[in-house]
Amino acid sequence: MTLFLVMSVVFQLMFFEIEISSHDTQQGVVTSLEANREHPRLRLKTDNGNYIVYDESLSHINIGDTLMVRGDVTVPEPNGFFTGFNYDQYLTSINIDGIIYAEAITTVSETFNIYRLRHYAHTYIDNHHPESAPSLKAFILASRSDMDASFYENVQSLGIAHLFAVSGLHVGFMVLALKRMIAPIIKHPPRIDLVLGIFLLGYMFITAFAPSVIRASLMFGLLAINKHLNLNFSALDLVMGLCMVLIVIHPYFIYQVGFQLSFLVSISLILGAGLLKDKSRFQQGFIVSIIAFSASAPIILNMQGSLNVMSIVFNVFYVTVMTVFILPMAYATFFIPWLDSLFGWVMTLFNYSVQWIDHLLSLHVRLIMPQGVLVVFYFMGFIWIFSQRKLQQKLIKASYVITMITVVNLMVLYSPFQSLTMYDVDGDAFLLRDRFNQCNMLIDVGNVDPHNNLANALHAKNVRRLDYVFISHKHRDHYGEYPTISESFTIDKTITNHSQHHYENTWVQCGNIEWFIFPRTRDFGSENDNSMIMKVRFMNQRILFTGDIENQAEADFLERYHVKADWLKVAHHGSITSSSETFIDQVNPSVALVPARRNNRFNHPSDVVIDRFNQRGINVYSLKQYGSVEFFSIGRFQLKKTALTP
């Protein structure tokens, strides 16, 4: 049965396709609304599909309204970074078929429909709990849209973000409270569980079917059925079965971080239940925290690139505070509005404690957990540890897993491979990495990126230090991300085209990388033509980096130098103003690297320029076609991988 379910999931992922309406006008019902975000958005359910709609002002719209929305439907393209966040997969995982940037929105109807129930719940909290509304929405409605962004960053840093996602803790608390309320009225246990099951079905709807709410609510139903029908399934059977059935129903659930964490932690806690026997409550809390921390580690590392090892201790403290104090007060405040000010004050203190502890006591450890086979081995090791009966055996097996992670990180940090990577940034960004971490050079850093894709990509390679950062010229698509890079990494030396004269006309060696900056003899009056031109000898290749020089600077360069190169970084993103036929013939490369990403506003590269390379039999690698491109070698063996399939 398990094999059948797995095959079904794989089949659906391979052949599952989204059909997107090409209509420029969509009519549908608002099923959720986030009007207080920096970029307000709503979710629209139509006959043609489900869409996220962005508009600058949504204050006049309510959940449940029927709208007519005019605007083109778009779908995000796959991320061009090897380890980047795939927004298109995420949208599919939450049943979104496309994005609409609204040109016009018209309200068609405000009549009652089932989605109005969500609106009433949100409106009740907004109107009666002005001071504690963001916290109540998070704890009760599974909505964090109104929470302060900096506070939530601190919560994530501490590793206690799960406390602000409605999960088994929250659902269990509600079920226990409701059970005690209705037990004096309904004496028959199966009927009590039936009433609670109906309540949880409605609650899943009110919370917009958040993954953790689905898991906790359906598990309650399965456990109740298992008990009343004497089916004798174990808790592990039920949670594993529920997980696989949900994935078969909607395979893209596996791309939801909330879904992954909810089931991984639940399964791990069930497997580790034996460790809790004959332990004090404090010891049990500490063991649970260690298990949850270990189970979520690969996912947290993939998201953040580091782990806060102190979160094990923080969770013991904050889970206790949440269970004993915060959650009871939150539910009491929901029903007794005059407690709003008091609860708002309590959450302010909570906020200050999170900020203070995160600032003074956090201990972040940067680790690498490459996604794929290694994660599978990690969880197999996890199960292997729990399968041991004696604590001493568990500790020995755990040491094996820790050793594996340590070895992997050392192998990535001190890799025997040499590599050159062209990253899918807006602009230029090239990383040259020598074997055994002897030298790391970054040539340009791309434009400002709110998602910090370049820094995350370098972290994924376990880059800790940059020996050199070269900025070819002062245009934002070449230096814009420098503040983020300088904050994230130790940089030994930064060289720009305005400071290059200190290093010109001399071969410099960094590990096995040699670089040479060609002297600039005059000011061209153009920042593009004043770009730094440098030659690198690396990976048995001669590589010429040309910044954004145009025809004038190319002609001047050819008059002064007769340079040959195996690989050419194509100037100015493949613009028609660069890469003259004379220049290409003189340099005579076998590989052309074109840093021009998809949908760039200048529509680079020029087809004419690409044809010039193709006509000469030169292999062209463009961000537009391949996304990030990495060449790596060991000895004389050289391989290549690309983030996108052309």
| Percent over 90 (pLDDT), the chain | 63
Write the pLDDT tens digit of every residue in 455-508: 999 998 889 899 999 999 999 999 999 999 999 999 999 999 999 999 999 999
Query: Would you state the structure tokens that stand for residue 32, as one six-digit string?
Result: 């959720």
- Per-residue pLDDT for 20 more than 60? no
Do the domains at 20-113 and 418-642 have one common CATH topology?
Answer: no
Tens-digit pLDDT profile for residues 451-465:
899 999 999 888 989
Mean pLDDT confidence for 87-102 = 89
Mean pLDDT of 536-560: 95
Q: CA end-to-end span of the chain, whole Å?
A: 37
Q: What is the pLDDT of residues 271-322, one digit of tens each?
A: 888 888 888 988 999 989 999 998 898 888 888 888 999 999 999 999 999 9
Domain 418-642, CATH class in plain words? alpha beta
State residue 98's pLDDT score: 92
What pLDDT does residue 375 have?
81
pLDDT at 15: 43
Return the pLDDT at 399: 82
| Model confidence at 642: pLDDT above 90 | yes
Q: pLDDT tier at 37 (50, 70, 90 boundaries)?
A: confident
Domain range summary for the chain, segments of one domain joined by +: 20-113, 117-364, 373-413, 418-642
Using alpha carbons only, what angle is made at residue 16 by residues 239 and 166, rounded to the nearest 5 degrees?
35
- What average pLDDT does this structure show over 211-229? 92
The per-residue DSSP string of 136-185 comes to: HHHHHH---TTS-HHHHHHHHHHT-GGGGS--HHHHHHHHHHHHHHHTTT
Q: 20-113 — its CATH code?
A: 2.40.50.140
Q: Mapping DSSP to helix (H, G, I), strand (E, B) and coil, where does residue 234 land?
A: coil
What is the tens place of the pLDDT at every residue in 580-616?
999 999 999 999 999 999 988 899 999 999 999 999 9
Q: Which residue has the tokens 């206790």?
A: 320
pLDDT band at residue 250 using 50, 70 and 90 as cut-offs: confident
Chain mean pLDDT for the chain: 90
Q: How confident is the model at residue 23 (pLDDT cuts 50, 70, 90)?
A: low
Quickly list H helices, 432-571. Answer: 453-460, 476-479, 482-488, 551-560
Cα 335 to Cα 67, 330, 331, 338: the distances in Å are 32, 9, 7, 9
Q: Give the mean pLDDT of 49-59.
A: 92
Q: What is the pTM assigned to this prediction?
A: 0.82
